Structure 1
Amino acid sequence: MGEKSLSFNNLLATWKKLAAQYNIAWKNSFIQWELPPNITADFALTLALPISHKTKQKPPKIAKQIIKITDCLDLEYTITTQGYINFRLPTAYYQQFLNKTLIQTGQNFWGEKKNFRLNIEYVSANPTGYLHLAHFRHAVVGNTLANIYQFCGYPITREYYINDRGGQITSLINSIYHFYHQLQNVTPTKMGQIEYAGEASQEIARQLITKWDSKYINRELNKEDFITWKKEILELILARIRQDLEKCGVKFDVWFSEASLYEKKEHLELLTELEKKDLVYTQNGATFFRSSRGGDDKDRVIIKQDGDYTYFFSDILYHLNKSKRADKLINIWGADHHGTIARLKSAYQLLGHKPENLQIILVQTVNLLTKDGPARFSKRAGNTIELAEALKYLQLDQLKLFLLEKDPNQPLSINTELLKENQEKTRLYYIQYAHARCHQIFQKANEKNIERIGSGIDLLTDQAERSIFNLLIRFVFVLENVIEENKSHHLINYLYELARIWQIYYQNSIILESESPELTSQKLLLVKNIQIILKLGLELMEIKAPERM
């Protein structure tokens, strides 16, 4: 992250280096910000505890050693009997932080550019229909994570993987072919099973009728016809998917076609490599990959008895392709892909890559609870809730926040009726209202010809003000925590807490004190910092930061 005043970055560098000496992976949780009310410190360092576990020395003894190598000249500290080091930051640190944030309008939080390329793949819904609400949870989770990584200095590629080959695409074409006949009051001579019966299949069929009229009525699709139908159908579906994602502010750098891997013969190169490494064998007419060598519970088929390649083989191909373009891969998948993780990580490792450079985030389903009961989602059954339908019940910003506010691996239910009744009690309303209140204070200050924002904070001696100082400096650490765990809901929790503490302070304090211009100017410095950080946080989620509510 950006350089800290009073060498806070140097403190962190010292502690991280010490952890590495004991082969301890640094965790942001080693710094604890939430402390019991009877402790007057600003944060606690718990690094002595894992070092104690490694060395079998008592934690307080380790804590004293940590203090010896730490530049604590400007810090007050106490060591507890458990080995915690409680630090209290000097007022000068907070003052420099607030002024830097004011002068740079938050640009001081931008991270230094990293020489480490990230590829984040998300949504990647099969193009067998339009996106439903669960896909939009993937979209906002992935997009927010990508925004935060980029904000923190990482070069980012946002990627959508198009599964445009295999049995599902054939089933989709057959289903649309059926509706193409049915909508023209014709019974197809060859009746196949309708796998995708939803409105999307019927809408695509109508568009094909508009384009082709009755050209393909009872015409058995040959290879050339099939390619034509596939190209037209996928273009129509992907155009709608792009359109819906852009409504949510989600855009991708790369739309990667699964079929392109085979068109470029990358599958043949991989098979040759697997044979050289003795990672494949044939059994009962099928080709197996020795994934059990990498920790999977059994070997997996990559070429079926009929000669077709499995989805798993395509997954290996695709991730090897991505690894040539990025140093770390992050996939955001539906929870139903849980069983794929071990086999893919096994393949990734066996083919010479570090397993920690492939991270997979699982996202659970979403239920929309309306007055008619829960809505359930299935592309095949055709009862999906699409974005336009969801936005009949929720504003886009409301939808984004609700899709983000829980751990992505927890199922999510959104009760639209309760929302209507309690809109002003939602966390989004609270955060946005806090930002709007900051703006209104400056409007009132302008009306009273109060223009100066101070640079000092020596008059802000109340514990409530120090609590806000402490929350403000945590912003960068919250973003680092999001990155460490790949969980963007930490940002929402932080913004809500900042908004809550700010609202309490506002209700118990007079901001514009006409008889105390210096105190007023210092309070305006505090308010401006709150406004800047609330706005930055909302922008990272691509949610509006309104000036009026």
Structure 2
Amino acid sequence: MTLYARFAAHIDAVLNSLVAAGELPGDLDRRNVTVEPPRDASHGDLATNAAMVLAKPAATNPRALAEKIAAGLEAIDEVASVEVAGPGFINMRLTDDTWRRELSAIDDDGANYGRSTTGTGHIVNVEYVSANPTGPMHMGHCRGAVVGDALASLLEYAGNKVIREYYVNDAGGQVDVLARSTHLRYREALGEDIGAIPEGLYPGDYLVPVGQALATEFGDTYVGAPESDWLKLFRTRAVAAMLEMIRADLALLGIHHDLFSSEAELQAAGKPEAAEKWLREKGFVYDGVLDAPKGETPEDWEPVELPLFRATQFGDDQDRPIKKSDGSWTYFGADLAYHFQKAQSADQLIDIWGADHAGTVKRIQAAVAALTEGKTRFDVKLVQMVRLLRAGEPVKMSKRSGNFVTLADVVNEVGKDVVRFTMLTRKADAQMDFDFAKVVEASKDNPVFYVQYAHARIRSVHRKAAEAGIVCESADLSLLDAEELKVVKLAAQFPRIVESAAAAREPHRIAFYLFDLAAAFHALWNMGNDAPERRFLVVNDPATTCARLFLANAIGQIVRNGLAIMGVAAVEEMQ
């Protein structure tokens, strides 16, 4: 049990003793009781809001309750002192030995330090990327891909079972455009001069090999054939080729999905009809007429009866059609059925969407609430686009793609780890600039470098200690002083950072924390620049060196654990 979990248990035990003594009611809801570092480190090591949260429902004065809780906490061996502040906040200072034991716990747990059981028993479906299968991955997809994959890893680290899913949008008009674009390349492969790619078709060179493969297989069979003879075939082959390309692009980022779900197969299997039937039986779908468009009504508009989902019953601002007037499914109708399918195998759903889909969040949230009768937690995380720069100037488009910069080009230039880490250095819904020059810059202003440099320094000092003949069979942690224990206190926050980040579905919190931890380590390291006795490697003092190497190794372990959640490898040395 890590330190914060242990003190949560300590506080719970104190509250139980107050209940047993008749000082508190036994039915108080303690879910909002927290244990965390005080905002101001001068106030202590840990703080709890227990008295502030419980005083009102217990019909007592918060400061009076805080005094009683503080008395119980003072009896704990790990606690050096307790102070009640303001109206009832409780601040604790822990003994130095408590922090030294936590340092040993980091070493003992190794790669498992920070793992949590808070998600045990939950199955979470995380759907991310889900780009149209019409071409290679581009940088517009990259951020959502990294955020989704890191979130999936974070949730697993917190004890959840996770299903990584990609929804293949292969039932819309865009795949017919893909088939026609492929047919053009097929004719080109057979020797036809196709000239400039017509407006409305996909211009990228990535369809050239697909056309060549079809030409080899079918010869000129479909050159002059009517579209009805080849459209379905070319669509199927082109989508398969694009998915193979997409999988390869995602693999460059270290991303692999458990499940690829096809929209076309979903519709062929009658899933939208099944969802509509279920909703009708519950009274959530009815036949009705939409209101006329706001403002000036188009001359060709006429009221048409459509099957409408009662989205307003679940927080949306209007009811939504699930079918068009021609009987085909609306995008919403198909998406509704897809989420119904996902909810059959998971009790929590998360969608990672581009910010341009913000307008459809309410209706999908309403649909999931209806389809699962409010039993399934559903989150939509919106991801802002990334602006690509090179030394401050916008990056030109890729010739191969036709009109965008491919993910593969970016990863091949700066590396998977740089791309992944950088995508997590800001909240997902905040705008981001990706400057090719800055993301590889060796400076404190580059979080990727700064965190990796901390780990490389740690590995380097261990190598130098070995070269100096210092062998540490054990470490006397009592030799660590207040400045060194300050870094231990930050390191000990990692488990609670994991739990809070998982609960909020915000993997960027791991990146932020690692930067803070790296900064604290670098500050401790830099003390040795002016005071040689503060260095991690003091050749004539092997006992102190071994204690500091033990500390450094623990910090390196947490850096590795955090980077692993982010899908980033920790470097052994800086090139």
TM-score (norm 1): 0.89
Q: 1:306 to 1:375 in 2, by over 3 A?
A: farther
2:403 to 383, 396, 401: 383
Q: Could you tell me which amino acid in structure 2 is paired with residue 537 of structure 1?
A: G
1:263 partnered with 2:268:
yes
Secondary structure of the residue aligned to 2:192 is coil
Distance in 2 of aligned mates of 1:371 and 1:4: 45
- Report the more deviating stretch, 451-460 or 193-202: 193-202
| Identical pairs, percent | 28
Distance in 2 of aligned mates of 1:326 and 1:422: 43
- Report the more deviating stretch, 338-347 or 515-524: 515-524
Match of 2:192 in 1: 185
Match of 1:89 in 2: 94
- Report the more deviating stretch, 9-18 or 139-148: 9-18
Match of 1:286 in 2: 306
Q: Deviations over 1:310-334 (max 9, x none)?
A: 1111111111111111111111111
Q: 1:327 to 1:217 in 2, by over 3 A?
A: same
Match of 1:524 in 2: 549
Match of 2:37 in 1: 33
Secondary structure of the residue aligned to 1:530 is helix
1:473 partnered with 2:492:
yes
Match of 2:222 in 1: 216
After the TM superposition, which residues 135-174 of structure 1 pair with which residues of structure 2 at under 5 Å, given as runs? 135-174=141-180
Secondary structure of the residue aligned to 1:244 is helix
Q: Deviations over 1:229-263 (max 9, x none)?
A: 12100110000000011111111111111222223
Distance in 2 of aligned mates of 1:6 and 1:53: 25
- Report the more deviating stretch, 134-143 or 257-266: 257-266
Q: Deviations over 1:339-380 (max 9, x none)?
A: 22111111222234326611111111011012583248899x
Q: 1:80 to 1:35 in 2, by over 3 A?
A: same
State the 1:51 CA deviation: 4.6
Q: Could you tell me which amino acid in structure 2 is paired with residue 159 of structure 1?
A: E
Q: Could you tell me which amino acid in structure 2 is paired with residue 480 of structure 1?
A: E
Q: Which runs of 5+ in 1 are unaligned?
A: none
Q: 1:20 to 1:343 in 2, by over 3 A?
A: farther
1:513 partnered with 2:538:
yes
Secondary structure of the residue aligned to 1:458 is helix
Distance in 2 of aligned mates of 1:116 and 1:500: 35
Contact 2:138 2:406 in 1 (8 A): yes
Match of 1:234 in 2: 239
1:439 to 459, 462, 465: 459
State the 1:412 CA deviation: 0.9
Q: Could you tell me which amino acid in structure 2 is paired with residue 60 of structure 1?
A: R
Contact 1:95 1:455 in 2 (8 A): no
Secondary structure of the residue aligned to 1:106 is helix
State the 1:107 CA deviation: 2.4
- Report the more deviating stretch, 142-151 or 83-92: 83-92
Q: 1:372 to 1:84 in 2, by over 3 A?
A: closer
Distance in 2 of aligned mates of 1:46 and 1:303: 51
State the 1:3 CA deviation: 5.2
Contact 1:287 1:303 in 2 (8 A): yes
Match of 1:539 in 2: 564
Distance in 1 of aligned mates of 2:525 and 2:88: 37
Match of 2:132 in 1: 126
State the 1:121 CA deviation: 1.0
- Report the more deviating stretch, 297-306 or 263-272: 263-272
After the TM superposition, which residues 367-378 of structure 1 pair with which residues of structure 2 at under 5 Å, given as runs? 367-370=387-390, 373-375=393-395
State the 1:300 CA deviation: 0.7
Q: Could you tell me which amino acid in structure 2 is paired with residue 256 of structure 1?
A: S
- Report the more deviating stretch, 52-61 or 67-76: 52-61
Distance in 2 of aligned mates of 1:251 and 1:321: 21
Secondary structure of the residue aligned to 1:298 is coil
Secondary structure of the residue aligned to 1:214 is coil
TM-score (norm 2): 0.85
Distance in 2 of aligned mates of 1:99 and 1:22: 36
State the 1:299 CA deviation: 0.9
Q: Could you tell me which amino acid in structure 1 is paired with residue 66 of structure 2?
A: A
Q: Could you tell me which amino acid in structure 1 is paired with residue 371 of structure 2?
A: L
Secondary structure of the residue aligned to 2:538 is coil
- Report the more deviating stretch, 125-134 or 80-89: 80-89
State the 1:480 CA deviation: 1.0
State the 1:219 CA deviation: 1.4
Q: Deviations over 1:95-126 (max 9, x none)?
A: 22222222332324333471111111111111
2:416 to 384, 388, 396: 396
Distance in 1 of aligned mates of 2:85 and 2:263: 57
Distance in 2 of aligned mates of 1:483 and 1:371: 35
Distance in 1 of aligned mates of 2:443 and 2:217: 45
1:452 to 448, 460, 472: 472
Distance in 2 of aligned mates of 1:16 and 1:36: 25
Match of 1:340 in 2: 360
Contact 1:367 1:414 in 2 (8 A): yes
Q: 1:103 to 1:272 in 2, by over 3 A?
A: closer
Q: 1:11 to 1:321 in 2, by over 3 A?
A: farther
1:274 to 251, 262, 279: 279
1:100 partnered with 2:100:
no
Q: Could you tell me which amino acid in structure 2 is paired with residue 84 of structure 1?
A: F
Q: 1:192 to 1:108 in 2, by over 3 A?
A: closer
Q: Could you tell me which amino acid in structure 1 is paired with residue 500 of structure 2?
A: N
Contact 2:438 2:446 in 1 (8 A): no
State the 1:50 CA deviation: 4.6
Q: Could you tell me which amino acid in structure 1 is paired with residue 227 of structure 2?
A: L
- Report the more deviating stretch, 285-294 or 434-443: 285-294
Distance in 1 of aligned mates of 2:215 and 2:26: 65
Distance in 1 of aligned mates of 2:11 and 2:242: 49
State the 1:459 CA deviation: 2.1
Secondary structure of the residue aligned to 2:491 is helix
Distance in 1 of aligned mates of 2:484 and 2:159: 31
Match of 2:322 in 1: 302
Q: Which runs of 5+ in 2 are unaligned?
A: 17-23, 290-303, 528-533
Contact 1:95 1:457 in 2 (8 A): yes
Q: 1:290 to 1:154 in 2, by over 3 A?
A: same
Match of 2:9 in 1: 10
Match of 2:292 in 1: none
Distance in 1 of aligned mates of 2:102 and 2:82: 20
Distance in 1 of aligned mates of 2:26 and 2:264: 44
Contact 2:475 2:543 in 1 (8 A): no
State the 1:209 CA deviation: 3.6
State the 1:306 CA deviation: 0.8
Q: Could you tell me which amino acid in structure 2 is paired with residue 43 of structure 1?
A: L
Q: Deviations over 1:152-203 (max 9, x none)?
A: 2211111111111122222322333344446643669xx9962433444455
Distance in 1 of aligned mates of 2:8 and 2:156: 20
State the 1:34 CA deviation: 5.6
Q: 1:72 to 1:490 in 2, by over 3 A?
A: farther
Contact 1:285 1:304 in 2 (8 A): no
After the TM superposition, which residues 317-336 of structure 1 pair with which residues of structure 2 at under 5 Å, given as runs? 317-336=337-356
Contact 2:350 2:379 in 1 (8 A): yes
Contact 1:459 1:519 in 2 (8 A): yes
Distance in 2 of aligned mates of 1:368 and 1:15: 54
Total equivalences in the alignment:
540
Give the CA RMSD over aligned residues. 3.2
Contact 1:175 1:194 in 2 (8 A): no
Secondary structure of the residue aligned to 1:44 is strand
